[in-house]
């Protein structure tokens, strides 16, 4: 990656035109109080999508950014949990009103709103601060006062209910909570621990085709790019099991089908903790003592996830406490956490120069190129995504790897400029895949142009 290459890329892109096009997509997907991730495919409000969306919106309509974040907070449960999906009332899309989650089974779910019963990576504090950067001091303090209690309660919930080992590491209970649905790390875990006999029989009898018709995603996106129907069934079954336990973390954790201390989720949490502390300080609050103590543990727990044999930060199976050695882009996210030292950050950055691993013409592939799972257009098993690129760019800049950060930025812009803001792209040739007019791709493109 030469500087010559970088400057050629920049001059080839009309940044203004690109930002305008992306803004148009956000306007198109705006439904009055939030931005739909993608028309038809994802009509409801998703937690981390909204956080990324507002990071884009803030550049030209900070009020809209605030509205979108406040809208996701409507879904907060009385125990502090913030669900990954808040369903839209009167959705015209049949079979997609959220009733299958039956969130009302939990006494903590909100009264007049259907939500999911699980969460997603805690990007909220980052989004709040990014909005804060666009406000003057008075307005920023007002904004922070307004949202601080919700975010504090969310972090308290994460530690109280999802840190069963009291290590400062949150356990996710469904692959969907990671945001990277069919990442190979999860697929391997669920094949080992969550495949009941009835699903095995369906697989052997090749009856999974029957379920294809029930799926929504493959009506809008090429089925070859998405999770297999067998794996979708396994995921659905984990969800049903949690529903039977009324979405109560303690009972689910007694015998979970899926329980992982995920490197990426916890890296995002570590960074969010720092933002939360800054928000509290600016408005003259102190964090609750128990939260202070947990926050301290998280940074060192992330450092301990480093495995000297694999030279990687490894997630752990939360039941067995065994490290999981399947590598994806998620394993690089301690860069974003800011919790690790420069030497380790360099070890992660080096992998982005290695063409067997994460170096490619259109970085950054969601799994290493030498992984048996790697497929250029297969959802979270190969494609480059703008949100994970954005997280890495933030992390690389934090540790001073500016040239590498700039390369990822330029190539990201190039992909979006040549095809439009698709859901994901081939890391090999930049060709687009998944849903067109995807909101977080548009929003983060705007942010990359304006940062
Ligand atoms: C898919 C993605 C998830 C995202 C959601 C809505 O499920 O894997 O990360 O939040 O779509 O865009």
Q: What is the pLDDT, as a whole number, of residue 57?
A: 98
pLDDT of residue 13: 86
Q: Is 35 helix (H, G, I), strand (E, B) or coil?
A: strand
DSSP result, 162-184 = H-TT-SS-PEESSGGGGS-TT-H
Which atom of ligand 1 is least distant from the CA of 38? 12
**Atom of ligand 1 lying closest to residue 48 CA:** 10
Nearest C-alpha to atom 4 of ligand 1 is from which residue? Answer: 179
Give dist(CA 89, CA 86) in Å, integer: 9
Query: How far is the C-alpha of 27 from the C-alpha of 43, rounded, in Å?
Result: 14
Enclosing H/E stretch for 260: strand 260-261
pLDDT of residue 1: 41
Measured by CA distance, the residue closest to atom 2 of ligand 1 is: 179
By alpha-carbon position, which residue is closest to atom 3 of ligand 1? 179
Backbone torsions φ then ψ of 35, nearest 5 degrees? -100, 120
Locate the ligand 1 atom nearest the alpha carbon of residue 182 and give its number.
8
User: Rounded to whole angstroms, how far apart are CA atoms 84 and 21?
Assistant: 28
Q: How far apart are CA 58 and CA 64, in angstroms?
A: 8
Residue 284 falls in which region: left (phi positive, over 0), alpha (psi -120 to 50) or beta: left
Q: Quote the ligand 1 centre to 374 CA distance (angstroms).
A: 19
CB 35 within 8 A of CB 50: yes
Q: For residue 311, what is the DSSP state?
A: T
- What is the Cα–Cα distance from 208 to 201, expressed in whole angstroms? 10
Please confirm whether the linkage preceding 108 is cis (ω < 30° from 0): no
Q: How far is the CA of 364 from the centre of ligand 1 (A)?
A: 18
- Indicate which residue of 68, 163, 231, 423 is catalytic: 423
**Rounded distance from Cα 179 to ligand 1 centre (Å):** 6
Burial of 112 (0-12, 13-18, 19+ CB in 10 A): exposed
* Atom nearest to 387 CA in ligand 1: 9
Q: Which pLDDT score is estimated for 91?
A: 57
260 contacts 172 by C-beta, under 8 angstroms: yes
What six digits make up the tokens of 379? 């959802």
CA distance to 120, 136, 202, 243, 335, per residue, from 391 (Å): 15, 26, 39, 32, 8
User: How many angstroms is it from 88 CA to the middle of ligand 1?
Assistant: 16
Using the mean position of ligand 1's atoms as its centre, give its distance from the Cα of residue 332 in Å: 20
* Residue nearest atom 9 in ligand 1 by C-alpha distance: 179
The active-site residue, picked from 68, 153, 181, 262, is 181
Is the pTM above the cut of 0.75? yes
Measured distance CA(60)–CA(66) in Å, rounded: 12
Residue 423 alpha carbon, nearest atom of ligand 1 = 12
Per-residue pLDDT of the chain (451 residues; tens, 9 = 90+): 433 444 445 556 899 999 999 999 999 999 999 999 999 899 999 999 999 999 999 999 999 999 999 999 999 999 999 999 999 976 555 557 899 999 999 999 999 999 999 999 999 999 999 999 999 999 999 999 999 999 999 999 999 999 999 999 999 999 999 999 999 999 999 999 889 888 888 888 877 777 777 777 888 888 888 888 899 999 999 999 999 999 999 999 999 999 999 999 999 999 999 999 999 999 999 999 999 999 999 999 999 999 999 999 999 999 999 999 999 999 999 999 999 999 999 999 999 999 999 999 999 999 999 999 999 999 999 999 999 999 999 999 999 999 999 999 999 999 999 999 999 999 999 999 999 999 999 999 999 999 8
What confidence score (pLDDT) does residue 92 get?
A: 57
Ligand 1 centre and the CA of 7: distance in Å?
33
Which of 181, 218, 438 for a ligand 1 pocket mutation test, highest count of atoms within 8 Å of Cβ?
181
Which of 29, 49, 388, 423 has most ligand 1 atoms within 8 Å of CB, for mutation?
Answer: 49
Q: Who lines ligand 1 at CB under 6 A?
A: 37, 42, 46, 48-49, 179, 181
Mutation probe of ligand 1 site: the residue of 29, 37, 43, 378 with most atoms within 8 A of C-beta: 37
Active-site residue, 423 included: yes
Distance 283 CA to ligand 1 centre (A): 33
Angle between helices 263-282 and 137-162 (to 10 degrees): 140
Question: Rounded to whole angstroms, how far apart are CA atoms 159 and 168?
Answer: 7
Q: Which of 29, 46, 268 to mutate to test the pocket of ligand 1 (most atoms within 8 A of CB)?
A: 46
pLDDT at 8: 47
pLDDT of residue 5: 43
The stretches of 176-228 forming alpha helices (DSSP H) are 184-193, 197-204, 209-212, 217-220
Containing H/E element for 432? Answer: strand 432-433
- CA–centroid distance, 384 to ligand 1, in Å, is 14
Ligand 1 atom nearest 440 alpha carbon: 12
Structure-token pair, residue 261: 């201390």
The burial class, CB within 10 Å (0-12 / 13-18 / 19+), for 370 is exposed
């Amino acid at each position: 990656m030469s500087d010559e290459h970088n400057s050629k890329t920049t001059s080839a892109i009309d940044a203004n035109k690109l930002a305008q096009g992306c803004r148009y997509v956000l306007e198109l997907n705006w439904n009055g109080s939030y931005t739909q991730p993608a028309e038809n495919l994802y009509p409801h409000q998703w937690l981390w999508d909204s956080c990324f969306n507002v990071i884009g919106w803030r550049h030209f309509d900070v009020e809209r950014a605030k509205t979108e974040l406040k809208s996701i907070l409507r879904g907060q449960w009385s125990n502090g949990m913030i669900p990954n999906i808040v369903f839209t009332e009167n959705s015209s899309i049949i079979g997609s009103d959220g009733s299958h989650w039956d969130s009302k089974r939990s006494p903590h779910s909100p009264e007049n709103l259907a939500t999911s019963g699980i969460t997603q990576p805690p990007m909220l504090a980052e989004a709040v601060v990014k909005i804060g950067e666009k406000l003057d001091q008075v307005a920023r303090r007002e904004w922070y006062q307004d949202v601080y209690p919700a975010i504090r309660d969310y972090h308290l919930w994460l530690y109280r209910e999802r840190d069963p080992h009291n290590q400062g590491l949150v356990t996710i209970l469904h692959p969907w909570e990671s945001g990277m649905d069919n990442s190979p790390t999860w697929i391997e875990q669920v094949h080992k621990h969550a495949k009941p006999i009835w699903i095995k029989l369906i697989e052997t009898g090749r009856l999974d085709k029957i379920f294809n018709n029930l799926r929504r995603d493959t009506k809008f996106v090429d089925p070859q790019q998405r999770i297999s129907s067998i794996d979708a069934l396994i995921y659905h079954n984990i969800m049903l099991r949690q529903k039977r336990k009324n979405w109560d973390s303690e009972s689910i954790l007694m015998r979970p089908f899926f329980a992982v201390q995920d490197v990426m989720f916890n890296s995002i949490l570590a960074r969010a903790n720092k933002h939360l502390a800054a928000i509290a300080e600016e408005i003259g609050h102190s964090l609750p003592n128990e939260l202070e103590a947990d926050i301290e543990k998280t940074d060192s727990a992330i450092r301990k996830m480093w495995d000297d044999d694999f030279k990687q930060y490894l997630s752990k199976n939360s039941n067995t406490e065994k490290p999981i050695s399947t590598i994806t882009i998620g394993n690089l996210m301690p860069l974003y956490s800011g919790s690790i030292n420069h030497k380790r950050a360099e070890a992660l950055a080096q992998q982005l120069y290695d063409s067997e691993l994460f170096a490619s013409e259109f970085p950054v592939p969601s799994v290493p190129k030498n992984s048996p799972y790697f497929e250029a257009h297969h959802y979270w098993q190969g494609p480059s995504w703008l949100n994970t690129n954005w997280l890495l760019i933030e992390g690389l800049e934090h540790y001073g790897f500016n040239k590498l950060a700039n390369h990822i930025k330029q190539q990201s812009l190039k992909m979006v400029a040549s095809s439009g803001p698709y859901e994901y792209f081939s890391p090999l040739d930049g060709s687009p895949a998944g849903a067109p007019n995807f909101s977080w791709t548009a929003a983060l493109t705007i942010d990359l142009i304006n940062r």
